[in-house]
Chains A and B, each alone.
Chain A
């Protein structure tokens, strides 16, 4: 059980066997790149891992599946520490292309779930503030009115996007023959939403030009992140159409956020 090993000071070795890491360390750059292909420890198949399979995590995950209603089936996707989550968050905004490598051995669902939830609440709250400030600027005697439907809309849009778009791309990638892992796609799309959190704080300022600049920058950064990682994920195959459509979808989400919540 993973809990039994939590006292070991090995947070950087998550997902890998300690003996294997000793050899990797001499050549490895970021510590997470040494997390090899083992998804969970102790390994469920007695340690057997198909050689050369970059998505061996999938086999490990399915082998420890105990049914939809058992918590222990989902625990491998939350096998994550605070410092690793923070590291992934920073990587999602910093335009270097190693996010895919970082989540390769240990994709987590903690990030996507809580980033989406935070974004829902922030959009609802800040959207109301921003709408009020904008109205107050145009007519000085505007009264504060809390529109609670912003919560409903934000929840539907953000959760729907974060759930449905990776599923759609999963099926599309399978259709064109590229072996894809749904968990990696969910993880990547979830972390791509992180940049909207600080930008929605900035969007409260009631200056229209400023708002457009912010959202275009944030949308562009987020779309670039998605496109880069999708390209790295489907290495080898030329799927420019898919990548461009992912980029456009992300940008469309950014525009929708601006138009609906911060107008």
Chain B
């Protein structure tokens, strides 16, 4: 459905507006299960940067979507290299930007920025730590995933025998542990959001990641113990405010004890793996 050539805008910009409006209209009309037919992309095509004002005719970026045939539905999370787990990226400037056509680097950069921001909020001292609503409002699961896998890999590298078993144990304990800890808080009558809590427990692993890396490089048991002690305290300090405010004060110790148990056992695993 093209508007013809009498528009005053740049030709590529008009086609972009067309495409966005078509996608919106089609999504409203057909519902969420439709695959829309491919429209031949016009060239040269302006890319739509996420944050700056659109329709800057920069012909530098090759079409990332030129090889993709059917355009998936607009509301589906973008399928580029670093998919955002949160669905449509709306930045408040009028029609939602299409995360399918942005360059891959933009997507990856956005996710990395979010990981860094969340890390700074959770693990490092900042005035918003006491309020879980503000602290991890923009939670994501990529950060925790990277940290868990990284910790498993480092432990696996440190081990001299049964490397894959060590990785399996570490990964299972951390992943299942995060889920079980969240369920524990919910069962005790606490008020948290399930995935936000998973996200937070994953981010609090970051100090233990650093500790494991240092222990991989050194080999003295005493130094390992000191490093693990410091990083374990740091992790617990990071997780404490969120967990303790989630349940009533008479059950605070019941909610916190499993968190300490998990971090202590991972700390012992870091020391013990030779």
Q: Are B187 and A11 in contact (CB under 8 A)?
A: no
Distance from A65 Cβ to chain B, minimum over Cβ atoms (Å): 15
Distance from A37 Cβ to chain B, minimum over Cβ atoms (Å): 22
Q: Mark B179-214, 1 if CB is under 8 A from A, else 0.
A: 000011011110100000000000000000000000
A75 in the interface, Cβ–Cβ < 8 Å? yes
Q: A71-B183, A82-B252, A82-B253 are in contact. Are A148 and B166 (CB under 8 A)?
A: yes
Please indicate the chain B residues that have their CB under 8 angstroms from the CB of A85 in the complex: 254
Q: A3-B189, A78-B187 are in contact. Are A121 and B254 (CB under 8 A)?
A: no
Pick from A7, A75, A121, A149: contact of B187, CB below 8 A. A75
8 contacts between A and B (CB under 8 A): A75-B189, A80-B188, A81-B254, A82-B253, A110-B188, A117-B261, A146-B273, A146-B274
Q: Are B189 and A121 in contact (CB under 8 A)?
A: no
CA distance A143 to B114 in the complex (A): 44
Please indicate the chain B residues that have their CB under 8 angstroms from the CB of A77 in the complex: 187
Q: A75-B189, A148-B169 are in contact. Are A121 and B261 (CB under 8 A)?
A: yes
Name A68-117 residues within 8 Å CB distance of B. Answer: 71, 74-75, 77-83, 85, 110, 114, 117
CA distance A117 to B181 in the complex (A): 12
Specify the chain B residue showing the minimal Cβ separation from A85.
Answer: B254
Q: Are A121 and B265 in contact (CB under 8 A)?
A: yes
Name B145-161 residues within 8 Å CB distance of A. Answer: 159, 161
Q: Are A78 and B189 in contact (CB under 8 A)?
A: yes
Name A36-91 residues within 8 Å CB distance of B. Answer: 71, 74-75, 77-83, 85
B3 in the interface, Cβ–Cβ < 8 Å? no
Give the secondary structure class of A's interface.
helix
Q: A2-B189, A3-B248, A78-B188 are in contact. Are A146 and B261 (CB under 8 A)?
A: no
Distance from A204 Cβ to chain B, minimum over Cβ atoms (Å): 13
A26 in the interface, Cβ–Cβ < 8 Å? no
Q: A82-B251, A85-B254, A125-B265 are in contact. Are A145 and B274 (CB under 8 A)?
A: yes
A118 in the interface, Cβ–Cβ < 8 Å? yes
Q: Are A125 and B274 in contact (CB under 8 A)?
A: no
Question: 5 closest Cβ contacts across the A-B interface?
Answer: A78-B187, A6-B248, A146-B272, A81-B250, A121-B265
Please indicate the chain A residues that have their CB under 8 angstroms from the CB of B130 in the complex: none
Please indicate the chain B residues that have their CB under 8 angstroms from the CB of A2 in the complex: 189
Please indicate the chain A residues that have their CB under 8 angstroms from the CB of B252 in the complex: 82
B258 in the interface, Cβ–Cβ < 8 Å? yes
A33 in the interface, Cβ–Cβ < 8 Å? no
Supply 7 further A-B pairs (C-beta < 8 A) apart from A117-B258, A125-B268: A2-B189, A7-B248, A80-B251, A85-B254, A110-B188, A146-B272, A146-B274
